[in-house]
Structure 1
Amino acid sequence: MNDSTSTRLPTVDASLYPRGDLDVLSREEVARLRDASTGGMHELLRRCALAVLTSGSANDDPRAARELYPDFDIQVQQRDRGVRLDLYNAPAMAFVDGQIIRGVAELLIAVVRDLIYTATELAPEYAGELGTAAGVTDAVFRLLRNAGVLQPGDPNLVVCWGGHSINRDEYEYTKEVGYQLGLRGLDICTGCGPGAMKGPMKGATIAHAKQRRRHSRYIGITEPGIIAAESPNPIVNHLVIMPDIEKRLESFVRLGHGIIVFPGGVGTAEEILYLLGILLREENAQLPFPLILTGPTASAPYFEQIDRFLRLTLGEAATACYRIVTGAPAEVARDMARGINHVRQYRIEQKDSFYFNWSLDVPLAFQHPFEPTHEAMAALDLHRGRKPHELAADLRRAFSGIVAGNVKEAGMRRVEELGPYQIHGDRDMMQALDALLRAFVEQRRMKIAGEYRPCYEIVA
């Protein structure tokens, strides 16, 4: 173990010999992972690996871990019978008596697996395929299949969305809902971070142990811009790193059989708008997709405000897509189990797979990566007269830009250099948006710690 200075934490040097998928990396793939040049993969590998090695961190600043461990490095070495991962100045918190924690090692291997597969799967020669909605969906399917999370069997996967910065009562409530889901044999998928992404998994582990389930799935889906700010929580046993937020969102709705939304901030609002924008399309009108918004009784005003915002912007039709339940974890779990049974029957009738929702129509507008530049944010069309699903797509992008300005390093840098993003639209819509965002700030849903400085300005 290396001695730390007064400002640096203890570190460890270690080597790992992964087994499985990484046994068959080509020399070219290893070279790409070691490439530190502009456009190379080494810096991305280093950032994602450091996030995994600091799993359980309570900081949501993507630069914090690198400041605490500035000398950390990871090197991928080619060997005759596979590869070796060499860690230098790695966080000691990932080790016990000099040995890396097994779960952390598995997540680290998942990082290497997903980064190299994405680089191959989304290479320039696939540009034509990725220009169509079906092509993007096929790419999402292959990325999830490569990660080993597409497993045949009865539908039982519940996606749980919610904020990384929530209060203690809300966190305990997410645990109780997860416990009730676990008692009913349901597995959990989240964004893999802390808060509402960790609580349901933690509750489900106890229930699964009581029910003697031996092969429970706790799937965490993230992307490179998020993982550094929301390190995987220690319960995740299947980590998937998608290349961008849009493919991450599509993974949730293709993989999950129902979705529960807990209290959260702008990231949670982005997820809600993404899903509603899809469900409001005529092509998906008959598709069963259980969606429940829930939290402790004290969180009822939060959901009332979300509900008002959705009614104002997307219309009353949007409210038919979800149900709001507060203070009743067992009721939430029972409703979700019933909803998933309807999904099962529908998939059987439609001859659709249980492990990937092919029937869901996701248009290219929802799949195309949105780069939140100041110009792109100012150009969003947030005005009346648009179809609800089209407006939902641009509202989703607005929230996505705020997420970037809050926790993604590239977005934070843009805001520091050019000032806050400006968001334009109809007066009543902007007033409602401003009120919602102010409430997130007052309820400390934007950041885990420290005073929040808005990365946006609302312009009516």
Structure 2
Amino acid sequence: MRKYISPRGSMELMSQFEVKRLKHSASSELYQLFRRCSLAVLCAGLQSDSDEDLFSLHQDFEIHVIQQARGVKLELVNPPAQAFVDGKIIAGTQELLFSVLRDIVYLSNKYDNIKNLDLSNPSHITNVVFDILRNAKAIAKRSFPNIVVCWGGHSIRQHEYLYTKEVGYQMGLRGLDICTGCGPGAMKGPMKGATIGHAKQRNYQARYIGLTEPSIIASEPPNQIVNELVTLPDIEKRLEAFIRLGHGVVIFPGGAGTAEELLYLLGILLDPKNKDYPVPVVLTGPTESADYFKEIDDFIGNTLGTEAQNKYQIIIDDPKAVAQLMATSMSDVKQYRRSTNDSYHFAWELYIDPQFQQPFIPTHKNVGELTLEFDMEKAELAANLRRAFSAVVAGNVKGETIQLIKEHGPFHINGDKKLMAMMDKLLSAFVDQQRMKLPGSKYTPCYQVNK
């Protein structure tokens, strides 16, 4: 089966050079990357946490870029049927498909040809993140602060999912836009709830922003609510995009990925240069999740101290209170950014230490050499803990890392014995609560914490 798709949303025009870069070739790394991300978009809404499962179902899928005098078309060969209704592609899926084309092809071509770009330079990294978001039109120049970043697991229980919807609904009633990792579970719930709140308030310009990366999009296909999809090159730039684009953060129950995100955020907020920078942070869930947040809070307190705990609030079983706190905090964010001449739409003045920006490649060597000791500076400890949890995430859902685990066994995480015991306890709780894999899936740990 072949389908021809016209542009919708972005990338109506491409140069002949850009098209040539995507010509079908088994040896073309760029083409394979584009194919993988496009297949994930066409499977939007699929409950998955393994790119192997996704690709095994659609081995005969191909996608080709066709240059025309008036623009560009996509040829889809054997695409997933769920992306179509009565033979026509779903409009939202069509938009997201061209978003992938924009972020994978255009940006690859652009950055490969910038001679003075130095991705070891913190300022250059931040400017690349800005450029990617601007190119995706995710930078709304005239808007006031109203974007709430929502983090949480793709594998959550039904009562937790319903809670995320209610929080999203309450935020939608208060005119807050939602930004998530774009997948299922706690990434979908707040968006779905917010659509009702926005509709009741006759808000027709609501934004549901999904930030993803090529190595995870196939494991967590975008949900159907996302109306702005941006694919960042790696997890570090994705995390920086969350923090600089958003104005507040709500964290729902999750697994290793949620712990990684929280540690990244706290490591930045603990930097003395950011002590006055307002970033409202709330950890929240239903009554049944209270023990989960106690474990997270205890882990943060025992590793990073009370200063880190003071950077967030825990609100249990009160969606309205969460939304009210986020809504009222927006005026503080606006006032601070106005007083410091920082922009409303991108937090330029928030300082991010280079150790949070440089990509961490989860190999057995890199994981084994991580320093995890109590006598480290708190921000540095947060950075290394973030890397350790990032490796667990990669070993759980990212195809290339899963293959490494199959070949060489689990990652070995080393450090202070007391600290390792705390980390093992937290990870074991995630496993027991089925937060590492979708319910019903057997989980084999990709890591070993050496106590």
What range is the shorter-chain TM-score in?
A: over 0.9
In structure 1, C-alpha distance between the alignment counterparts of 2:232 and 2:17, rounded to whole Å: 21
Q: Report the residue type matching 2:54 in the other structure.
A: A
Query: Is 1:300 aligned to residue 290 of structure 2?
Result: yes
Superposition RMSD in Å: 1.2
Contact 1:35 1:41 in 2 (8 A): no
Query: Post-superposition shift, 1:125?
Result: 4.0
TM-score (norm 1): 0.96
In structure 2, C-alpha distance between the alignment counterparts of 1:211 and 1:20, rounded to whole Å: 25
Query: Is 1:32 aligned to residue 16 of structure 2?
Result: no
Matches within 5 A, 1:127-166: 128-151=117-140, 152-166=142-156
Q: How many residue pairs are counted as aligned between the two chains?
A: 449
The 1:280–1:207 alpha-carbon spacing in structure 2 relative to 1, beyond 3 Å, is same
The correspondence for 1:456, drawn from 432, 447, 451, is 447
Contact 1:188 1:219 in 2 (8 A): yes
Q: Report the residue type matching 1:375 in the other structure.
A: K
TM-score (norm 2): 0.98
Contact 2:168 2:191 in 1 (8 A): yes
The correspondence for 1:204, drawn from 185, 190, 194, is 194
Contact 2:63 2:76 in 1 (8 A): yes
Query: Is 1:237 aligned to residue 237 of structure 2?
Result: no
Query: Is 1:44 aligned to residue 33 of structure 2?
Result: yes
Query: Is 1:57 aligned to residue 46 of structure 2?
Result: yes
Query: Is 1:14 aligned to residue 36 of structure 2?
Result: no
CA-to-partner distance for each residue in 1:151-190, whole Å, 9 max, x for gaps? 0211110000000000001000000000000000000000
CA-to-partner distance for each residue in 1:178-224, whole Å, 9 max, x for gaps? 00000000000000000000000000000100000011000000000
Structure 2, unpaired ranges of 5+: none
In structure 1, C-alpha distance between the alignment counterparts of 2:190 and 2:264, rounded to whole Å: 22
The correspondence for 2:266, drawn from 252, 258, 276, is 276
The 1:128–1:148 alpha-carbon spacing in structure 2 relative to 1, beyond 3 Å, is closer
The correspondence for 1:117, drawn from 106, 114, 121, is 106
The correspondence for 1:259, drawn from 249, 262, 271, is 249
Partner of 1:9: none
Contact 1:404 1:412 in 2 (8 A): yes
Query: Post-superposition shift, 1:351?
Result: 1.2
Partner of 1:419: 409
Contact 1:33 1:40 in 2 (8 A): no
Query: Is 1:87 aligned to residue 80 of structure 2?
Result: no
Structure 1, unpaired ranges of 5+: 1-11
Query: Post-superposition shift, 1:128?
Result: 4.4
2:123 is paired with a residue whose SS is helix
In structure 1, C-alpha distance between the alignment counterparts of 2:257 and 2:137, rounded to whole Å: 26
Matches within 5 A, 1:213-224: 213-224=203-214
2:79 is paired with a residue whose SS is strand
In structure 2, C-alpha distance between the alignment counterparts of 1:344 and 1:356, rounded to whole Å: 12
1:23 is paired with a residue whose SS is coil
Query: Post-superposition shift, 1:328?
Result: 0.3
In structure 2, C-alpha distance between the alignment counterparts of 1:68 and 1:75, rounded to whole Å: 19
CA-to-partner distance for each residue in 1:6-53, whole Å, 9 max, x for gaps? xxxxxx421012156423211111111225354531111110010000
In structure 1, C-alpha distance between the alignment counterparts of 2:310 and 2:401, rounded to whole Å: 34
Contact 1:121 1:139 in 2 (8 A): no
The 1:459–1:47 alpha-carbon spacing in structure 2 relative to 1, beyond 3 Å, is same
2:224 is paired with a residue whose SS is coil
In structure 1, C-alpha distance between the alignment counterparts of 2:106 and 2:186, rounded to whole Å: 29
The correspondence for 2:12, drawn from 23, 28, 32, is 23
